[in-house]
Chain A
Amino acid sequence: MQSGDVARKLPFRAWPAAVGARAPLEALQRVMFVAVALGAWQWLAPRLVRTGPDFFPLPSDVLHGFATLLTTAEFWTSVVSSVGRVLAGFAVATLAGVPLGVLIGASPRFEALVDFSVEMLRPLPAMAWIPIAILWFGAGDVSSVFLVSLGVFFPVVINSAAGVKATGRVYRKAALTLGAGPLLMLRKVIVRGALPYVILGCRIGLGVGWMVIVAGEMVGAQSGLGFLIMKARSFARIDWVVDSMIVIGLIGLGLDAAIVRLQRWAVPWWGKEGT
């Protein structure tokens, strides 16, 4: 009797891991499932709810919407507005946050001083700052950038601090035994060691920032994608609403991918070989 006859399914698949050319098959499967889902939406939805570009858009409506939306100047200025604000806020927050985070990670004394403030302000969602931001800065660019900065700031600070701390003991000791002076240590060892964490903080921060800007623009701005999406709704152009949602999602992915690129360039060794 051959053991091949008995194909009893083992209760797990980890041993040994099935090696295989999964990648192209996977991609194909994904496309198929998405197509099925879209098809179901297009075909099934009209039978269940009232559909149409003014209430429940179908994929066809969404696509048509894109055709018209992308030709309006307002769409593109909105994109530029939002992305510009996010980048500005991101820049401000990282410029302030990274040094602060590094300082916190490097000096337990400084950390003790600032810890309370950070721990108190951190759980406050950036969204909760919207009203006060409008109160302070009006409903324009400044308040938007301020909000984004807030959202980006805390993940950056916390992750940078964690990075410096993580680099701390082992690497620093190793460097010391090799005769490194403090400045050299700072540059070569700590910065490089902490860099992956800093970039991770930036990645998380950017994600939060992008969420915050859209919310902020929905509430208190006169331009940007958040504002656009609210305007589209008030004009009952729901197909444009869905289009904007897709665009917002795509830009979010794009920003994230950009940071991952940066990460691969700046810290190519991350994730490999015991980091």
Chain B
Amino acid sequence: MSRADTAANSGTRGSGEGLLRVAGVLLLLGVWWALASLVLPQMGEVAAKSLPSPWAVAERLVELAASGELLVHALKTLQRIATAFAIVLLTAIPLGVLMGWSETLRFALDPLLELLRPIPPIAWIPLSILWLGVGDAQKVYIICFAAFFPLLVNTMVGVRHVNPSLVAAASTLGASRGQILFRVVLPAASPFVFAGMRIAFGIGWMALVGAEVAAALAGLGYMIMAMRQGFDSAGVVAGMVVIGVLGFCFDVGLRRLHRWLAPWHLEFTQV
């Protein structure tokens, strides 16, 4: 559901739609506020406390930011994903390229990978806690596990499905095998690699939050769990907002990066 899609689809663009968007935003906030302040309090005190009003959430968010608590946990989470992502990029892409390029290597490693891949990263949590404890290393492990396979597979597919004409053209222009790999196959596969990166990030982010919610001593996931234990529903929602916004920013950031590095991908990518 991109802006471009909507624009292409609608007969009359412009103010009519813009108004509806604004209405949509207001509707969301309105329904939320109504539920929190009008409906639930009628259903009892417990219910009233369970959904904080938008205002209460905003207040709590400011509180958390000001006290520095939010920053501590957010940094922890970001640090973990950054480390893990660096590891994944440095391993999955080269391996994916090699496996895409060499049929033999692919046959050799593929069965092993196909065995590990179906196990959801979340399922690794108990085992990883046992081996690595509840700290950063364990979290990084979970993220790596989650993000590795999508990136690997996408890279592999990208390399394998490079337009054979491009390879043929390069070889009839005098490129050596190595030159073809680095100067033709890699650039040609990059749309898939970028797509893989976005997917890998999304899954990694989800796994990280899950791991922090399940068992952690710090981090945004831990924070919202702790808030829950304290019945601090406004805090929980505030934390969720931060998690959502961060995830969104990263995705947009990756998309921007993609477009900046590879403007010719316009034909390949869907916004």
A residues at B contact (CB < 8 Å): 10-15, 26, 29-31, 33-34, 37, 55-56, 104, 108-109, 111-121, 123-132, 134-136, 158, 161-162, 165, 168, 210-211, 214-215, 218-219, 226, 229-230, 232-233, 238, 241-242, 244-246, 248-250, 252-253
Contact = CB atoms under 8 A, between A and B. Distances in A.
Contacts of B6: 108, 111-112, 115
Nearest to B125: A218
Given A128-B209, A128-B243, A241-B126, A248 B23 contact: no
26 contacts: A12-B168, A12-B171, A30-B114, A33-B111, A37-B111, A55-B130, A112-B17, A112-B24, A115-B1, A115-B24, A117-B28, A120-B28, A125-B206, A128-B213, A128-B224, A128-B243, A132-B228, A132-B236, A162-B1, A211-B121, A218-B126, A218-B214, A232-B126, A241-B127, A241-B130, A245-B127
Interface residues of B, number: 69
Given A125-B209, A215-B214, A118 B228 contact: no
A118 B209 contact: no
B123 A214 contact: yes
B44 interface: no
B233 interface: yes
Given A135-B233, A233-B126, A15 B213 contact: no
Interface string B13-57: 000111011011101100000000000000000000011000000
B205 interface: yes
Contacts of B58: none
Q: Per DSSP, are chain B's interface residues mostly helix, strand or loop, or mixed? A: helix
B115 A34 contact: yes
Nearest to B247: A123
Nearest to B210: A127
Given A11-B171, A168-B9, A232-B126, A116 B221 contact: no
Contacts of B27: 113, 117
Contact of B231 (A115, A135, A210): A135
Interface in B188-241: 205-207, 209-210, 213-214, 221, 224-225, 227-228, 231, 233, 236-237, 239-240
Contacts of A132: 224, 228, 233, 236-237, 240
A111 B210 contact: no
B171 A117 contact: no
Nearest to B244: A124
A228 B171 CA distance: 57
